[in-house]
Amino acid sequence: MSIIKILPENLVNQIAAGEVVERPASVVKELIENSIDAGANSIVIEVKDGGKSFIKVTDNGKGMSREDLEMALQRHATSKISDEKDLWSISTMGFRGEALASIASVSKLSIKSKTENDLGGSQIDCEGGDIRSISDIGMSTGTTVEVFDLFFNTPARQKYLKKDASEFGHIAALFNTIALGHPEIAMKLIHNGKVVSDYARVTDLISRVSDVFGNTTADAMLPIFYGGSDFHMDGFIGKPLLSRSTTSHQYIFVNGRAIQHHLLAHRIKAAYHSMLMENKKPVFILNIKIDPSLIDVNVHPRKIEIRFEDQQTLIKTVYGSVSSALEKANLMPKGFSESRNYMSDRLPKMEQPKMDFFSAKSVSSGNVDFSQGNNLKNHKAEIGNAMEFSKNMMEDREASGIDEPSMKAISQVANSYIVAESADGLVLIDQHAAHEKVRFEQLMTQFEKQDKNVQALLVPLQMEFSADELTLIQENQEVFDGLGFEIEPFGGNSYVIQAVPNCLSGEDIDSVIKGVLDDLQNEKTPSNMQGRTEEILTYMSCRSAIKFGQSLRPDEMQALIGQMEKLKRPYTCPHGRPTMISLTLDELEKMFGRK
């Protein structure tokens, strides 16, 4: 007797549902993608109890005839591909044709649909994959899918669903992701009869960013652009102040499809290079338009990963665009409303936790929002200009003609902060962080130069090291040599320092070296983004920089400002903390009630 059996169709569909339908959000994703493929420019999603008991997706797409409606519930029934060659040029969101059949097999499903040419629509009802009725109905052009009692016939899967709030959280996150990928579509989300989000159709991504996250976030986004013949790319990257501890606000769209691409995300983070605090991740929304024949979207059951034919070129181009945008932008935090976001993932107290971002839409209750100096209209105007220089992304600052406004040192607060005047208002400078950044760039330049700028010591410095310190020196000898240190054994645990990098010639070398070795000994986990060399340079910059509480003369403060203005990225120290914060004249006038 044969032990191999052909599985019944309903069981096959339930197995397929295990790949497609993990939770209510999976159903919503498949139905919205079908609506997009149907050419809808308006989609309404309504759910109850986190989607467990009810999901309804209504669109104004091209709809289906009665004949197509009956076929749609059969496994692998699709209008999106017809032969093998179509698999290698997928331009639609869905294509396998298993979604509706899989959803139907684990729910009570009703579909209503009408095409533009039909006088009336059709409705099909099924339960657990079995069709119960088909009837004619009156309705407007489009499709409405209703899903009741998800997993009613698979209680083992139903019990693993989370609380309603958790399941709805997944739906809301998915909704916003798709909304960001398709700003040309009006989208509405309703939960338990309450409208949660309602986004109108817009022609530009920054308007949708403002809808989803608020004007404050939109103002803190920088446009990126690439218009090559191989692919087209546009989108936005967040200023460092928007960085978060998770990757939940990193969006990559390829031909409108939201994907995950860890290598690309890693290279985007690398482009921020010391501008982010440890364990912080950048925020970005990246739109890539590419010939469908140059990608493979059929490498993951849920189509969240794709394969690029020329991945290296794409990643290199994106990295260059992000680097260029960061170098050419003024990244100085504006007042208190922006600077506070460097140090915490928590939302500002004045705002409601609509998303993980701070949202200007919910600013109220008597708190003044000082971050609205640049409104959305002005920001849109800036995008066109930014796209122009992004096309020539590798130009240096001098060639681009972009210069930072000069600042004049006025005073020093608590022997720690420099107060400076700029053309726009006041700038508060953290003297230690600022000098740390200057020193880091000096040391990096020194390390990379073939002809080292070295200062021989008039009197060689003899130093004693412990066994652990000797080990660290030996392990990192190449880095010290590359910087221009001349360190020679002097017998036993003694070494003699003959020469040092010129930028450190006026420092307490004994204290600097001992401090760096102490930092290396006490480090918990090396940074993933910085290599060993940069790690040592960061420690050395910190140990040799102007200290907090160190009194500075006016000429010393001005000299530090002059050194900062020569840097391409003066806005953060090597640890990612801000070096300076601006208070514009507009903000000051608001604070004093003049506006």
CATH of the domain at 352: 3.30.230.10
CB-based contact 138:185 (threshold 8 Å): no
Q: 243 and 337: one domain?
A: yes
Q: 162 and 104: one domain?
A: yes
Closest to 474 in 3D by CA, of 430, 520, 540: 520
Residue 397 domain flag: no
Strand order in the sheet with 494-501: 454-464, 494-501, 486-489
Q: 79 and 136: one domain?
A: yes
Q: Torsion angle, CA of 554/559/561/562, rounded to 10 degrees?
A: 140
Record the pTM.
0.78
Residue 260 domain flag: yes
CATH of the domain at 442: 3.30.1540.20
Q: 537 and 510: one domain?
A: yes
Residue 393 domain flag: no
Residue 27 domain flag: yes
Q: 247 and 359: one domain?
A: yes
Question: How many CA atoms are closer than 13 Å to the CA of 244, on its beta-carbon side?
Answer: 16
Q: What is the pLDDT of residue 452?
A: 83
Q: 235 and 163: one domain?
A: no
Q: 118 and 243: one domain?
A: no
Q: 72 and 111: one domain?
A: yes
CB-based contact 134:179 (threshold 8 Å): no
Can you name the residues that pair with 186 across neighbouring β-strands?
A: 42
Count CB-CB contacts under 10 A for residue 154. 17
169, 199, 229: which is the final residue of a domain? 199
Burial of 585 per CB tally in 10 Å (0-12, 13-18, 19+): middle
Residue 227 domain flag: yes
d(CA 18, CA 11): 11
Residue 590 domain flag: yes
d(CA 348, CA 363): 9
* Ranges in the chain, pLDDT < 70: 1-19, 75-97, 298-303, 336-405, 524-530
Number of domains in the chain: 3
Q: 419 and 359: one domain?
A: no
Residue 1 domain flag: no
Q: 424 and 532: one domain?
A: yes
Q: Torsion angle, CA of 65/69/71/72, rounded to 10 degrees?
A: 120
CB-based contact 469:432 (threshold 8 Å): no
d(CA 248, CA 263): 16
Write out the residue range of the structural domain in which residue 438 sits: 406-595
- The string of DSSP codes covering 424-443 is SEEEEEEHHHHHHHHHHHHH
Can you name the residues that pair with 204 across neighbouring β-strands?
A: none
Q: 171 and 265: one domain?
A: no
Q: 539 and 413: one domain?
A: yes
Closest to 271 in 3D by CA, of 385, 394, 380, 429: 394
Q: What is the pLDDT of residue 362?
A: 32
Q: Which two tokens stand for residue 445?
A: 């330049």
Residue 385 domain flag: no
Strand order in the sheet with 284-290: 221-227, 231-238, 284-290, 250-254, 257-259
